[in-house]
Amino acid sequence: MDLHHQTIHELRNLLDKGEISSEELTQKVLSHIEQTEKQLHAFITITPELALEAAKRFDQSRQAGKKPGALAGIPLGIKDNFLTKGSRTTCGSKILGNYIAPYSGTSTQRLLDAGGVMVGKLNMDEFAMGSSNETSAFGEVHNPWDLELIPGGSSGGSAAAVAAGQCSAATGTDTGGSIRLPAALCNLVGMKPTYGRVSRYGVIAFASSLDQVGPLTKDVTDAALMLQVLAGHDPLDSTSLDVPVPHYAQSLVPDVKGWKIGIPKEYFVAGMDPEVEAAMLQAIKTLEGLGAQCGEVSLPHTDYGVPVYYILATAEASSNLARYDGIRYGYRNKEAKELISLYEKSRTEGFGDEVKRRIMLGTYVLSAGYYDAYYLKAQKARTLIRQDFTQVFKNYDVILTPVSPTAAWKLKEKTGDPLKMYLSDIFTINVNLAGLPGMSLPCGFTQGGLPIGMQLIGDSLQEEKLLRMGYAYEQATEWHKRRPKL
């Protein structure tokens, strides 16, 4: 198999044995990016000099006999809402179009310290608002499985790049599904850890009570490797959990005998693509074949997820995005003569339509007189959603659902109808509202050759269970081994 299609653990093996150098690998990946990027547009910024410099450094330290870090020499892509010192961070927005951060965020720094070689910053929906990667101010991303289709969003650049072999793994953020949805639509493993498991220091905030950082990888073993580096307490993030990090590689055991899997009936509804439903049923059979026991469960408040999310996420976003005022950083209108019109013009010109829609919605639900009716009510419903999950986890190890009701759709198909776009996340959003870990993994293909993903949801801090079940499933199937032909 081509080098660029190999997993992190396969590449680590080649690097450790000295069969390839990090510099060679980086060169190969950079030239593959050059060949494919016109079609995909997965990157906002490519950083070849930084990458080659880092690769050479690791080769030298390896030759000097130093023990390599867990990701030494591995080409990685970083979503463009992660601050990276020395290269620009746009968040997919014109308002941060030329922004260069003075420091790298904790999660990025941990990847670099482990030896990861950053090849560039990945395209994304503006401020991570979207499900298709079409709201980016830098243009849409194309799905490597079919260039006329969306890759999923908002971490669409991350998914397209990893699936196409432009990097071995990438970071993403997931506020309502933005790691799991694009992973599913591009045949990858996408892990959204428990809220607080991974530091968000130096990640541009969208909705702070929901945002979480995680990896997109080619298989479950790589997901465990990446999570190991990313996870852990960070005193710089007040929501970061100060609890020990397990040794995730130990979860990679293909044994789920006697494990109990809950299948929520609310997730198998009318409107779901029959091919997606068939793939889920097949996955359930496979897991039962491995000795797991599947049973129907109920998460009765499921339907409230989308409305609750769009109240809370927009409210938090309207507050988080208040800092882009044209003064402190980012884009500034040059003609404005006084303060208010400077704010107005800079924000009008700097933000795209979807971001403006969310700021207006969020400002509305937080305004006096509406706060109790919307924001407070949504917080209460959020508690009920969370309690549904707690109830099920009393008797079950994991919950299994589809990631998306359909496979990837055509570019522009949903851009004219925001509500239709918002419904793309009905199966992922509640996991964020409950703060739980969720992982999407490849579980089939449509007749037309498009990837289908399934989602495993775990109780708080039970990432190990997801990895173990995902690993067991992966050992019994071949879906994750398929690569798109570009």
Structural tokens at position 113: 């310290």
Give the nearer residue to ligand GLN in terms of CB position, either 73 or 182: 182
Shortest reach from residue 447's CB to ligand GLN, in Å: 27
Structural tokens at position 399: 């919950």
Q: Which residues bind ligand GLN (CB under 6 A)?
A: 128-131, 154, 173-178, 206, 313, 425
CB 456 within 8 A of CB 399: yes
- In the annotation, is 94 catalytic? no
Give the nearer residue to ligand GLN in terms of CB position, either 153 or 262: 153
Q: Which of 178, 251, 346, 440 is catalytic?
A: 178
Shortest reach from residue 252's CB to ligand GLN, in Å: 27
Neighbours of 334 (CB within 10 A): 7
Give the nearer residue to ligand GLN in terms of CB position, either 81 or 187: 81
- Cα dihedral 29, 31, 34, 36 in deg (nearest 10): -60
Structural tokens at position 276: 């997606």
Closest CA to 31 of 46, 18, 15: 46
| 49: amino acid identity, one letter | E
- In the annotation, is 104 catalytic? no
| 222: amino acid identity, one letter | D
Q: Which of 87, 132, 136, 154 is catalytic?
A: 154
Closest CA to 432 of 213, 212, 226: 212
Shortest reach from residue 87's CB to ligand GLN, in Å: 22
Shortest reach from residue 95's CB to ligand GLN, in Å: 17
CB 241 within 8 A of CB 231: no
DSSP conformational letter for 374? I
Q: Which of 21, 22, 79, 414 is catalytic?
A: 79
Give the nearer residue to ligand GLN in terms of CB position, either 140 or 425: 425
Shortest reach from residue 425's CB to ligand GLN, in Å: 5
d(CA 369, CA 456): 40
Closest CA to 124 of 108, 143, 140, 142: 140
d(CA 363, CA 366): 5
Shortest reach from residue 350's CB to ligand GLN, in Å: 19
Cite the DSSP H helix spans in 367-462: 377-393, 418-422, 429-434
- In the annotation, is 79 catalytic? yes
Q: How far is CA 422 from CA 72, 154, 468, in A?
A: 39, 12, 31
What residues are annotated to the active site?
A: 79, 154, 178
